[in-house]
Structure 1
Amino acid sequence: MNSRITSVDEARNALGKRLRELRTQARLSGKELAESLSWPPSKISKIENGRQTPTDDDIRGWTRATNSENETEALLAALHTLELQHAEWSRLLKAGMKSHQGSLAQQDEKTKLYRGFDNTVIPGLIQTPDYARARFAQVVMVHKVPNDINDAVRARMQRQEMLYQPDKRFHFILTEAALRYRIVPVDVMLAQLDRLIALTSMRNVRLGVIDFKTQYVTDPRHGFWLLDNDLVRIETYSAELNLRQPQEIELYGRIFEQLASVASYGGSARAIITRVIQDLAEEAADPARDFEV
């Protein structure tokens, strides 16, 4: 993910470089600084080389030990900008999944154009309650966060009310793989696919599907969201990445248009979804198929 390297890793490296400069200006070795802060020497090296993100307390301790407390606020501002770009799930979901949905709703209020591509799952804004419930259960299992699934589902469904606001527009692109991956039970997926068919008729929603036979212009490397022309949001296993550099937004905008150019819409999209529904319905009607050789 080149964008993550340019915006997140370089920001962390720049912060580490500035902290190293303060240490050398104070004529302290890494070992001496570590001893003064009661840290293992390896922590100094990791922070200075961008392999570990310091905390607020780390920054304050560093500037205090290097007699550069006048730099504290600027360094904290740089750290907080980095944290906004690379928001680890353990921190985002510490207060529960409902709280994170509320944070997303604040961004929703000011966003007018949503463009989203997903190659593995159905996006939250168009999930059924049961699909959302299954996805939140997976989050609880993977990240060991508070189990507030019922509240999180209600919050997600409330966010979906903006799909009916005439001043907002939505453009979703899904791969056929996202319709077929066994992430939720078959009956839940069948209801979700029915929901997608209904969405193809909404006035301010454009739903594209890229079937398996499509020749791609660019590879479908990972899912992402474009919020107006202000933000690119990417979800990884460990973090939510928020990219705001103009060149990154422009890049993802071009990639989105390339993916949109090979997607099927309207009746063609419904035909792909219907084909998947038929395959899943046949499987659900004949459980013995799972045991065929």
Structure 2
Amino acid sequence: MSTDFQQARAALGVRLRELRESAPGGRLTGTGLAQRLGWTQSKVSKLETGRQTATAEDLQMWAEAVGQPESAEELLARLRGLESHIRSWRRQLAAGHRAVQDAHNVAQANSSVLRAWESSWIVGVLQTPDYARAVLTRSAELHQSPRDIEDAVRSRMKRQEGLYESRRRYHILLWEPVLRSLICPASVLAAQLDRLAGVVGMDTVELGIVPLSASLKVPPGIGFWIYDDAQVIVENWHAELWLDDADSVSTHLKVWSALQESAVYGADAQRVISQARQALDIA
């Protein structure tokens, strides 16, 4: 399992390649960019594949060389977030929401077994575009961050490609209030619940719902992801915590297992979702 630093560096490399390939004057080759910058072609390749850490000067030069100087601020914001386990939203969202989505895409793409507990909203990998748009808009309003909502939605939707990869398994637990929280228009929530019902039965997804009536061994607490039983990502109002120490992982695995004992699956999960959908009273 790669570290959060490596994952963020790989996501930065993906973004650098995108900027090179979308240069205003036409697609720029790696060799062509290296010539413009006076670098070796291997340096360009290492930066794009996440095998070398860019400096602030490298990123400023890259943005200028690909004809997109306005992207420098975004690239520098990504660089500042590379080494921190505590990733404050203020720092992460300095250049918008897409960078955060890209980092999660890389983390999930590098994982085979993913476990999630969510008590606040439908997890991103199962969201509809409209639901994702509503959640990201609320976040942008809260943090007063740049409004790159559509780019962020597209990045989040790309994450869902993993649902159709046979090597990957998602074990997702949702608390029932998530199905009823109107953090979006009722019509959007209705479509989201229809989407969620369609996930039940997928061979790559084990979706459990913890009903409000269930007896709980631990308090619901805040949501988290566990990747390959080796890394935990926890989100709160101030920051994301990317944790890979053994104690943190072990504790979150215990919490996830305790919550799983209260979950219902299959037809019973469908029933809980259906009841929430009917409560919206939307055709």
Fold conserved between structures, TM > 0.5: yes
Match of 1:176 in 2: 176
1:126 — aligned with what? 126
Q: Find the counterpart in structure 2 of residue 139 from structure 1.
A: 139
What is the deviation of 1:226?
0.6
Q: Deviations over 1:95-122 (max 9, x none)?
A: 2211221122221221111100011111
Three-state SS of the structure 1 residue aligned to 2:212 is coil
**CA offset at residue 84 of structure 1?**
2.2
Confirm or deny that 1:232 pairs with 2:232: yes
C-alpha RMSD over aligned residues? 1.6
Show the counterpart of 1:220: 220
Write the letter of the residue equivalent to 1:155: S
Larger helix percent = 1
Counterpart of 1:201? Answer: 201
Partner amino acid, structure 2, of 1:248: S
Q: Is 1:192 aligned to residue 199 of structure 2? A: no
Q: Which residue does the alignment assign to 1:166?
A: 166
What TM-score, normalized to structure 1?
0.67
* Aligned residue pairs, count: 204
1:109 equivalenced with 2:104 (yes/no): no
Shift of 1:85: 1.6
Q: How do 1:1-293 residues align onto structure 2 when only pairs under 5 Å count?
A: 84-281=84-281, 284=282
Query: Please, which moves more after superposition, 179-188 or 91-100?
Result: 91-100
Structure 1 residue identity aligned to 2:236? T
One-letter amino acid of the counterpart of residue 170, structure 2: F
Equivalent-residue separation in structure 2 for 1:125 and 1:163 (angstroms): 8
Deviation at 1:145, TM superposition (A): 1.1
1:116-150, CA deviations, whole angstroms, 9 ceiling, x for partnerless residues?
Answer: 00111111111000000001111110111111111
Aligned residue for 2:133, secondary structure, equals helix
Q: Which of 1 and 2 has greater Rg?
A: 1
The separation in 1 between residues aligned to 2:249 and 2:99, in whole angstroms, is 27
Which 5+ residue runs of structure 2 have no aligned equivalent? Answer: 1-79
What secondary structure is seen at the aligned counterpart in 2 of 1:275?
helix
Offset, 1:229: 1.7
- TM-score under structure 2 normalisation? 0.69
Q: Structure 1: which 5+ runs fail to align?
A: 1-79, 286-293
Offset from partner CA, 1:42-98 (integer Å, 9 cap, x none): xxxxxxxxxxxxxxxxxxxxxxxxxxxxxxxxxxxxxx9996221001111122211
Aligned residue for 1:146, secondary structure, equals: coil
String of CA shifts for 1:6-25, please: whole Å, max 9, x gaps.
Answer: xxxxxxxxxxxxxxxxxxxx
Amino acid at match of 2:97: M
Q: Is the Cα contact below 8 Å between 2:81 and 2:92 reproduced in 1?
A: no
* Identity across the alignment (%): 36
**In structure 2, distance between residues paired with 1:210 and 1:109:** 27
Per-residue CA shift, 1:169-210, capped at 9, x if unaligned?
001100111111121110000000001110011101000001
More off after superposition, 114-123 vs 83-92: 83-92
Partners of 1:197 and 1:153 in 2: how far apart? 21
3-state SS of the aligned residue for 1:183? coil
Question: Quick one: distance in 1 between partners of 2:108 and 2:262?
Answer: 28
